Amino acid sequence: MIRHLTKTPRTGGSFRQHLSIDPLQQPSLLDTTLRDGEQSPGLYFTNNEKVIIARALDELGVGIIEAGIPGMGKEEKNVFRKLVGLNLKAEILAWNRLAMDDVRSSLEAGVRSIHVSVPTSPQQLSRKIGREPSWIFRRMEEVVGFAVSEGLSVSLGAEDASRTETNFLKSIFLHAVQLGVTRVRYADTLGILTPEKTSRTIRALTHSLGIPLDFHAHNDFGLATANALSAWKAGASVISCSLLGLGERAGNTALEEFVGNAHFLEGRFPDFDFPRLRKLCETVSIFCGRPIASQKPLFGSEVFNHESGIHVDGLIKDRLNYELFPPERVGGKSSIIVGKHSGRSALKYLASLQHHTLTDPEAQGFLNALRTRMASQKGVNADGLFEAFLLEKY
């Protein structure tokens, strides 16, 4: 049995006392669960599920919801019409290639905000679409010009931006500004950036750009959240995320991780409803048929479990010793479990919850027997053995 930690002294004060808040603007969140998240191999959402997720994101205060690709056909257009008809506070964004047919599909879907994406790296220009760099500018004038003339709010994205020369990318973005786009996107399509390179590049691009830059990270090397934080601090005012980090290959920046970092470590999103976000992540997990990893930051079922004797002893004295914030803040609970690494203090504390008293020799005797058993046997139910030990003793 897992025992939830009861009230203990909290002599360390609030975790917020330890934050150093700078004047950096709070980033806008762009959630792409319904577009890039749904591009996870083997995953899809029904139209009804898309509506449920979009409503929940809107209630959480997510400002931009990238809801899919109207160019995919009739059903995708239908769900966009439903989403637009909800009159959410969030901007409903449709993803498009830099192509006239895609933009026309978005117009037919009733959206007023579109994103148009174009490969910009030498690799993808040559080996994916077989075009010269100058083609991008001509195509932008045609497609972006048409979209703006139709009254659409247009975001332009550079696919594979992290393998694109920065000055060339800057020229594309500046030309997009001249054509009337309202936002540009830097996509680290293969997840190859580091926080240091992200900071240098985004700072160079946002200097004198004049419109918001959206940073879209992939997690191929486990750096999506770190890179997103670096991008925000370097000037990216919009951060693309997805629930549970869903997305192509290793996924995208996890919305819950980015907001968790921004809130608990940087003091942003002061009123964010993390328990509600947790419930949404659990809902999305069910829709996907993919369980949330037990050690997933913030929302994993085991991230507030404690076994190590040294840690539990410190936790009993003051939860701030090993918990930066109350787990209840994100819908979690502190729990102590019995195991190989438990210490006497933990066993004595757990016994006291059942109004029993253990001496140090009694606690040590149980631990010695438990460790001997675990040294030669897998699957030992340590909690069950401790319960039996207490029943036998009392």
Local structure of 110: helix, strand or coil: coil
Q: Which fold has domain 25-288?
A: TIM Barrel (3.20.20)
- Asked if 149 and 133 count as a contact pair (C-beta separation under 8 A), the reply is no
The pair of structure tokens assigned to 309 is 């004797």
What's the confidence (pLDDT) of residue 209? 95
Query: Rounded to whole angstroms, how far apart are CA atoms 219 and 227?
Result: 9
Q: What is the CATH number of domain 304-393?
A: 1.10.238
Q: What is the pLDDT of residue 217?
A: 98
Which residues, listed in sequence order, are joined to residue 153 by a DSSP beta bridge?
113
pLDDT at residue 18, rounded to an integer = 44
* Structure confidence at residue 4 (pLDDT): 59
The helix/strand/coil state of 11 is coil
The SS3 assignment for 201 reads: helix
CA distance 323 to 158: 40
Identify the pLDDT of residue 51.
98
pLDDT at 15: 47
CA distance linking residue 254 with residue 241, whole number of Å: 5
Q: What is the pLDDT of residues 20-74, one digit of tens each?
A: 445 578 999 999 999 999 999 999 999 999 999 999 999 999 999 999 999 999 9
Distance (Å) of CA 98 to CA 172, 190, 223: 13, 20, 28
Q: Go through 338-358 and write b for each residue having 16 or more CB atoms within 10 A of its CB, e for each that does not.
A: bbebbbbbbbbbbbeeeeeeb
State the 10-residue block means of pLDDT for the chain, 394 residues long. 52 47 81 98 97 98 98 98 98 98 98 98 97 98 98 98 98 98 98 98 95 98 98 98 98 98 96 98 98 97 96 94 96 96 96 95 97 97 96 88
Q: Tell me what pLDDT residue 394 has.
A: 82
Handedness of CA 383, 385, 386, 388 (dihedral sign): positive
Q: 304 — phi, psi (to 5°)?
A: -115, 20
Residue 297 is predicted with a pLDDT of 97
Answer whether 0.75 is exceeded by the pTM: yes
Q: Where are the domains of the chain?
A: 25-288, 304-393
Q: Nearest to residue 236, comparing CAs of 260, 259, 206?
A: 206
Nearest residue to 380 (alpha-carbon basis) of 392, 389, 391, 371: 371
